């Protein structure tokens, strides 16, 4: 019962995506092509975020803490 509501909700969401992004008026092969390209781009963005963002955050944290640490040592 709950699964059916969830599936209905997702199909409504997919319908909204289709009419907003003009997919509803495209032919089926164009729709599949557009969906494939969009999913590929999203997958690449997610992968890049997963691989690189923790390293960037750690480096930025070290950089700023070194500056603040330098300030506090000279102040003392």
Binding site for another protein (CB under 8 A): 16, 18-27, 30, 34
Q: Confirm if 23 and 17 have CB atoms less than 8 A apart.
A: yes
Between 10 and 61, whose beta carbon lies closer to another protein?
10
Q: Confirm if 23 and 31 have CB atoms less than 8 A apart.
A: yes
Between 36 and 65, whose beta carbon lies closer to another protein?
36
Between 1 and 20, whose beta carbon lies closer to another protein?
20
Distance CA 4, CA 13 (A): 14
Q: Least distance in Å: CB of 37 to another protein?
A: 10
DSSP category for residue 12: H
Q: Least distance in Å: CB of 17 to another protein?
A: 10
């Amino acid at each position: 019962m709950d699964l059916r509501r969830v599936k209905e909700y997702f199909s409504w969401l997919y319908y909204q995506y289709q009419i907003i992004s003009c997919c509803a008026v495209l032919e089926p092969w164009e729709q599949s092509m557009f969906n494939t390209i969009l999913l590929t781009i999203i997958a690449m963005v997610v992968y890049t975020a997963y691989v690189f963002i923790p390293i960037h955050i750690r480096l930025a944290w070290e950089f700023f803490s070194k500056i603040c640490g330098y300030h506090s040592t000279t102040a003392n």
